[in-house]
Amino acid sequence: MQQRRELDQVYTNRKLLNGQLDTPKWWAPTVTILGIVVVLGLIVIAVMINKGLGMTGLARPVYWGLFITTFVFWVGISHAGIMISAILRLTQAEWRRPVTRAAELLTVFSLLTALVFPLIHAGRPWRIAYWIMPYDLARGIYPNIRSPLNMDPVAISTYLTGSTLFLYIALLPDLGNLRDRTTGWKNAMYTVLALGWRGNPRQWKMQTVGGILLSALMLPIFVSVHSIVSWDFAVASAVEGWHSTIFAPYFVIGAVHSGVSAVVTMMALMRWLWKWDDFIRPEHFDALARLLIVVSTGWLGFTFLELIFALYGQDAPEIALREMQMFQWPWNGLFILFFLTAYAIPVPMWLFKRVRTNIALMFWTSILVNIGMWLERFLIIVPGLARRTPFVYTWEAYRPSAVEWTIFIWSFAWVTFLMLLFSKFFPLVPLFEQKESQVFTTDVMIGRAKVPAIIREAD
Amino acid sequence: MSTQSILGLFQQPESAADAMDGLKEAGFELGTFDVLTGTPYPEGAFGEYVPQHRLFRFPAFGAIIGFTLSIFLTSVTQLAYPMVTGGKPILSIFAMLIIMYEMTMLAGVIATVIGIVFESRLPNMKPGIYDTRITEGWIGVVVTFDDDSKVADAESVLNKAGALEIKHAK
Amino acid sequence: MASEAVAHESEHHAPPPQVAADVIAQELIATTTGATGRFKAWAWILGILSIAGIVALIVKFIDQGDDSTKWGYVAAMVSFLLSLAGGAPMVAMAPVMAKANWVRPITRIASLFSFAGVATLIMLIPLVAILPPLVTEGARRRTVWFMAPDYSPHFWTTLGLVLLLVTGIMLFYSAALPDFASMRDHSTGWRQRLGKRLARGWVGTDAQWRTLRMRIGMFGTFYFFILVFVNFLISTDFGQSMVPGWRDAIFPMYHTVSGFQAGVAGVVIALYFSRKYMKLEKYVHMDAFWSLGRLLFALTLLWIYFFYSSFIVFWYGRSENDIATLDLLIKGPMMPVFIAAMLLIWFVPWWILIWNKVRRGTGAMVVGSFIILIGLLLDRIRTFVPAWSVPPDQIHEKWLKVIPDAYWPSIFDVLIMVGGISLVALIVMLMTRVIPVLSVWQVQEFNLLSKPIKYIRGHATLVAKPD
């Protein structure tokens, strides 16, 4: 249970607005370095678009490689935000409060990044205009809505729009706060963004009711997005290892596993970098780790089912694929690494409270999970295509090129860069949620024991 | 007759609630006085007037629009440019459903956000009398009148309740 | 929309009344005695129907024990009863894990359903005898038992179901110790003697409470894992593997989740009737219905999600076995049943439960729950009946070449189904004579931890969260 701590509002403002009101020393150099990496990555992308996809390792029969894996990876990370923010809002979990903003932010930026990958993977990204308005009507065709490749952009843009709006609505009270703390052009900016927020009961009521309503609407979208991404693969009955009915929930729960872990990583960094020890506390990591134990064990169950039912049909090609995936070098090495990092190392560690409340350990284990979950996507996507089948005479395994790896690294720098840029102007921990928890929690005496308690509105 | 408002500032929620009670007793109409806080309080904590809202209509309205548009997009485009792929019918309801679902939800979310902003009575670029200390934990009780004669009444109520400061604005 | 309250219904707003602990114990224990005439009449009717069902089961076994294609309805019944009686106790577990306060008074009624596992077990006995072995005439059918001995499904399913029954009863018993002690202290006659024997010297020391909590957590976790395991076995061995080419990885999860849905619906129904006829309004607050309603609402959505996830993959797949599977279970002779099931398990309850007003009342909630249970029964019928009607000589094929005609229930099948459901209801009803239908100590705990308070000028509830 959350230990109550008295924190007055002036202190809360000063501490949580330290990114905006007085920028930490490390900020400028870090952003500069990341900016350089981002620019370099963009140059590599530009060169690749100019020269063509021949610069990648993609070749017959492996047409989907690192880019698509990384796309699925970032879509997965994006599932942190709404999972944490919406589910915990709906269940009124008190420990959500410092976590929500960071989680929503991660959703928005990782989705933005995810979108880049199919775009550049298409080779000629300007032709994406065709998806919006078919310019080439002479051929008498229109984007085929029966194709999951068409459903993807629809789902992702819905999710991106929805979560950006959600983020903004929840930011309103804090924008009002920033407006009150700043002067000059910043004040003018926050005044416009805050839309004239004053904090009267009507506005607060809309924050709570609207927040819950939006959560309820965003949850089904969140589930649909990764399901649709999974159908990119699952509806293709010709590729072994893809045509499985479990893919949709399997991808969603895997996404939650990786997304919540990414939130843990981010929370640890926030606590260390902005010195928010009073707000992001060990008990929050404890709660997140407990959630992760449940989610990851559920995910393991789905992994098991996926595997069992792949073998269930006893079709020779499917069995050959699984054999390759698990027992042939280099896939077996990756498979072992995947299992160790995604489950076998972190989850048993989380069973101990000492680990759950140790922030450094939580940081490293959460990174392990994401290494594992990236590998999981790689092992789903590539081996199914790479297996030697009749009438395919390119027998060389897929090897991602330096260009692909550079763009892969760029994506991490890009998300971090956007995050830090955001932190310069907007608080990463919702101040009003923090203050609300001060109002809504208290201690009660039951006998001689002091027990933390929550005030629930009579709804 | 000019619209005028005053703002009393309190540090203790109890005093602010006293002020709200006092204003009610002094015969000020509901809706002419309001409480401003830097954090949400449980509903009715200040005995404040909580206006009814119609937020729940917005998503329904948005969803209907989105659903209609989605039917149009998915069916008309496929009928206008028919091409059979994968042996599926031109109007493949199960594939269309997915796009229809997303568009319905998208319109629902956008309408909800519009609803939240509208029902919060935002944007309001002339929000009226305010104090920046409200976001530092002070509680403001704001009274608005058309009638100048009541200013003194309101001021005395606020002072009696222990207002630390009173601000005026035309 | 799942959302906060807008309107101010008076009933929901009423703070839970604070009742003194000794009054709680006396009143709740008094509910076990003095059955009304109507209660007795219903018990007799259900008892007769249950016996008729069991007799029909025996007659059917003697008559048709050699023809597996006639046993689809019994298989559907095993699956349905497993869902209802197995899923309900999870209501006592899942929210407890999330430390929800509203669930405390109603965990007992949920765990009473564990005993109804007896009905599932009775249905399973003939079915295990009829289930074809893995290898017949030298050919091995596709199952999850790749290399395992021939009678693995028979053995493990039976063991799993027995374990589920035992763990469920242990879960019930470990949480019931303090109540048996209350009966020892406050009841009379055989109930007092039973309490004395089963309370096992419970006096409520600190150590006893600690052990109690530990046991509940332990049995709850076991129960969950065994439940998932049994769902997996029943859905694959008694469903999928009876049909050549039906390869649906999500089906065990679909079975589990829809089972949980049935469990919640069952708890709502039981709660409604016990609240109404045992006059428990003081203890079963609207808050519980409100929360169960949200859970049920979420589960109806989860049903359509799981269904669609599986359906769309078959629909796109278009391989022979994809087409045959769709034809057998959805598009073929079972189509009317499937459509009815989908409407009743998803669309209608979803549309009922979406309204805040409904979830804040009890009447429409209980109607919604009945609809879900009917829908679920139809859903089990549309999956298990066609699966069992596949002739055994086709079971080894790569995929189903001929879709069998719909098999209509015989009079015996109807009697068996009615009897099975009656037996569950009867067991839960009779258990309310043995132990208070609401857990005395948990109602007391609820009152201790949650209090209506005045917050400045408003009203709120203060909920303590000890850990």
The DSSP string of B109-127 is HHHHHHHHHHHTT---S--
pLDDT for position C123: 93
Identify the domain containing residue C138 by its residue range. Answer: 31-149+225-436
Residue A82 lies in domain: 9-454
User: Residue B1 — very low, low, confident or very high, per pLDDT cuts 50/70/90?
Assistant: very low
The reply to whether C374 touches chain A by the CB within 8 Å rule is no
Confidence of residue A390 (pLDDT cuts 50, 70, 90): confident
Which pLDDT score, from 0 to 100, does residue C6 have? 35
Do A217 and B58 touch, CB atoms closer than 8 A? no
The predicted structure's pLDDT at residue C28? 87
For C351-403, write each residue's pLDDT tens digit: 999 888 888 888 889 999 999 999 999 999 999 999 999 988 888 888 888 88
CATH number at A17 reads: 1.20.1630.10
Residue A246 counted as domain residue: yes
Is a pLDDT exceeding 60 seen at residue C12? Answer: no
Contacts of C233 (CB under 8 A, 6+ apart): C153, C156, C157, C160
The predicted model gives B22-27 an average pLDDT of 88
DSSP C31: T
d(CA A259, CA C278): 47
Does residue C10 form part of some domain? no
Provide the β-strand partners of residue C139.
C136
- Which of the pair, A82 or C175, is modelled with greater confidence? C175
pLDDT, chain B, mean: 88
Pairwise CB contact (< 8 Å): B42 & C458: yes
pLDDT at A338: 96
Instruction: Write out residues 72-91 of B within 8 Å (CB-CB) of A.
Output: 73-74, 77-78, 80-81, 83, 85-86, 88
pLDDT tier for residue A459 given thresholds of 50, 70 and 90: low
Note whether residue C293 is domain-resident.
yes
Are A314 and C314 an interchain contact pair (Cβ–Cβ within 8 Å)? Answer: no
Q: In whole angstroms, give the CA distance from residue C166 to residue A456.
A: 38
Instruction: Give me the residue label for tokens 């991660």.
Output: A106
Q: Are strands B4-10 and C139-140 parallel, antiparallel or unpaired?
A: unpaired
A244 and C4 in contact by Cβ < 8 A?
no
Confidence of residue B3 (pLDDT cuts 50, 70, 90): confident
- Which of A76-85, A247-256, A312-321 is the most confident on average? A247-256
* Mean pLDDT of the B72-93 span: 86
Domain membership flag for residue A50: yes
Chains that touch C (3 or more CB pairs under 8 A): A, B
Taking only the tens place, the pLDDT of each residue in C144-157 is 888 888 889 999 99
Does residue B42 belong to the interface with chain C, where contact is any CB pair within 8 Å?
yes
pLDDT tier for residue A61 given thresholds of 50, 70 and 90: confident
Checking if the pLDDT of C218 tops 80, the result is: yes
Give yes or no for residue A245 having a pLDDT over 70: yes
Residue with tokens 């994968």: B86
pLDDT band at residue A444 using 50, 70 and 90 as cut-offs: confident
Between A413-422, C46-55, C278-287, the lowest mean confidence (pLDDT) is in C278-287
Q: What is the pLDDT of residue C13?
A: 44
Q: Which residue of C has its CA nearest to B59?
A: C1
Q: What is the pLDDT of residue B9?
A: 93
Residue C442 confidence (pLDDT) above 70:
yes
Say if the Cβ atoms of C313 and A247 lie within 8 Å: yes
**Given 3.30.70.120, 3.40.50.720, 3.30.420.60, 1.50.10.10, which CATH number is that of B4-49+127-169?**
3.30.70.120
Q: Is C315 on the interface with B (CB under 8 A)?
A: yes
Q: How far apart are CA B27 and CA B153, in angstroms?
A: 10
C4 touches chain B (CB under 8 A): no
The whole-angstrom distance between B17's CA and the closest CA on chain A is 13
Q: How many domains does chain A have?
A: 1
Q: Which residue has the higher pLDDT, C71 or A393?
A: C71
pLDDT of res. B149 = 78
Other beta carbons within 10 angstroms of residue C197's beta carbon come to: 10
**pLDDT score of C312 more than 50:** yes
Distance CA B144, CA C218 (A): 61
C-facing residues of A in 4-63 (CB < 8 A) are none
Tens digit of pLDDT for each residue in A142-183? 778 888 888 888 999 999 999 999 999 999 999 999 999 999
A11-44 pLDDT per residue, tens:
888 888 988 888 889 999 999 999 999 999 999 9
The pLDDT score that the predictor gives to residue C17 is 65
DSSP string, A130-179: HHHS---GGG-----TTSHHHHHHHHHHHHHHHHHHHHHHHHHHHHHHHH
Give me A126's structure tokens. 């300007």
Would you list the domain boundaries of chain B?
A: 4-49+127-169, 57-119
Check pLDDT > 90 for residue A374.
yes
Q: A142–B120: do the CB atoms touch at under 8 Å?
A: no
pLDDT at A458 over 70: no
Name the pLDDT band for C5 (thresholds 50, 70, 90): very low
For C13-43, how does the pLDDT look when each residue is reduced to its tens digit (9 = 90+)?
A: 455 567 888 888 888 888 888 788 899 999 9
Q: Residues A146, B92: contact at Cβ < 8 Å?
A: yes
Distance CA A357, CA A349 (A): 11
Please check whether residue B61 touches C, CB under 8 A.
Answer: no
What pLDDT is stored for residue A4 in this prediction?
59
Closest Cα in chain C to A303: C249
pLDDT at C334 over 70: yes
For residue A386, give the H/E element and its range. helix A359-386
CB contact under 8 A, C458 and B56: no
Helices H / strands E in chain C, number of each: 19, 4
- CB-based contact (8 Å) between B53 and chain C? yes
The total of other beta-carbon atoms located within 10 Å of residue B147's CB is 10
Percent of chain A residues topping a pLDDT of 90: 61
C4, C456, C459: best mutation site toward chain B, by most B Cβ within 10 Å? C456
Q: Note whether residue C464 is domain-resident.
A: no
Q: Each residue of C269-299: pLDDT tens digit?
A: 999 999 988 888 888 888 888 889 989 999 9
Q: Answer for the pair B7, C447: CB distance below 8 angstroms, yes or no.
A: no
Residue C456 sits at the chain A interface (C-beta within 8 Å): no
Contacts of A134 in chain B (CB under 8 A): 81
**Does the structure show a pLDDT above 90 at A139?**
no
Q: What is the pLDDT of residue C194?
A: 92
Q: Does the residue A447 lie in any domain? A: yes
B139-145, strands of its sheet edge to edge: B33-36, B139-145, B4-10, B165-169
Instruction: Flag if A312 and C4 touch (Cβ within 8 Å).
Output: no
What residues of C are in contact with residue A94 (Cβ under 8 Å)?
465
Q: Is the pLDDT reported for residue A394 higher than 80?
A: no
**Assigned token pair, A55:** 């610069």
Please write the tens of the pLDDT for every residue from A82-133. 778 888 888 778 888 888 898 999 999 999 999 999 999 988 888 777 766 6
Note the pLDDT of residue A91: 77
**What average pLDDT does this structure show over A363-392?**
90
Residue A381 has pLDDT above 60, yes or no: yes
Q: Does the beta carbon of B43 lie under 8 angstroms from any beta carbon of chain C?
A: yes
Q: Mutate which of B43, B53, B88 to disrupt the C interface (most C C-beta within 10 Å)?
A: B43
Does C454 contact B at CB distance below 8 Å? Answer: no
List CB contacts (< 8 A) between A8 and chain B.
Answer: 137
ipTM of the complex: 0.93
How many distinct structural domains can be found in chain C? 1
A chain contacts of residue C251, beta-carbon cutoff 8 Å: 245
pLDDT at position A395: 65
Q: Which residue of C has its CA nearest to B52?
A: C6
- pLDDT-derived band of residue C346, with 50, 70 and 90 as boundaries? very high
Domain assignment of residue A4, yes or no: no
In 3-state terms chain A splits into helix, strand, coil percentages (rounded to 5) of 75, 5, 25
| Residue A73 pLDDT greater than 60, yes or no | yes
Using CB atoms, which chains have 3+ pairs under 8 A with A?
B, C
Main-chain dihedrals φ then ψ at residue A456, nearest 5 degrees: -105, 135
| C-alpha to C-alpha distance for C457 and C444, rounded to whole angstroms | 28
C456 at interface of B, judged by CB pairs closer than 8 A: yes
Whether A1 shows a pLDDT value over 60: the answer reads no
Number of other CB atoms surrounding residue A204 within 10 Å? 22
Q: Which of C155, C323, C308 is nearest to C247 (CA)?
A: C323
- The C-alpha of C333 sits at a distance from chain B's nearest C-alpha, in angstroms, of 20
Closest chain C CA to residue B55: C6
Is residue C312 domain-resident? yes
Q: What is the mean pLDDT of residues A391-402?
A: 80
List pLDDT tens digits, range B144-166. Answer: 887 777 888 888 889 988 889 88
Buried b / exposed e along A126-163 (16+ C-beta atoms within 10 A): eeeeeeeeeeeeeeeebbbbbebebbbbbbbebbbbbb
- The string of DSSP letters for C57-108 reads HHHHHHHHTT-GGG-HHHHHHHHHHIIIIIHHHHHHHHHHHTT-STTGGGHH
- Judge: A249–C319 Cβ closer than 8 Å, yes or no: no
Beta bridge partners of B6: B143, B168
Q: What is the band of C98 on the pLDDT scale with cuts at 50, 70, 90?
A: low
Is C251 in Cβ contact with A245 (below 8 Å)? yes
Separation in Å, CA of A277 to nearest CA in chain B:
20
- Give the helix/strand (H/E) hosting B34: strand B33-36
A 87-126 → B contacts, CB under 8 A: none
Q: Are the beta carbons of B83 and A143 separated by less than 8 Å?
A: no
Interface check for B70 against chain A (CB to CB < 8 A): the answer is no
- Asked if residue C454 belongs to a domain, the reply is no
Residue with tokens 């199960």: B94
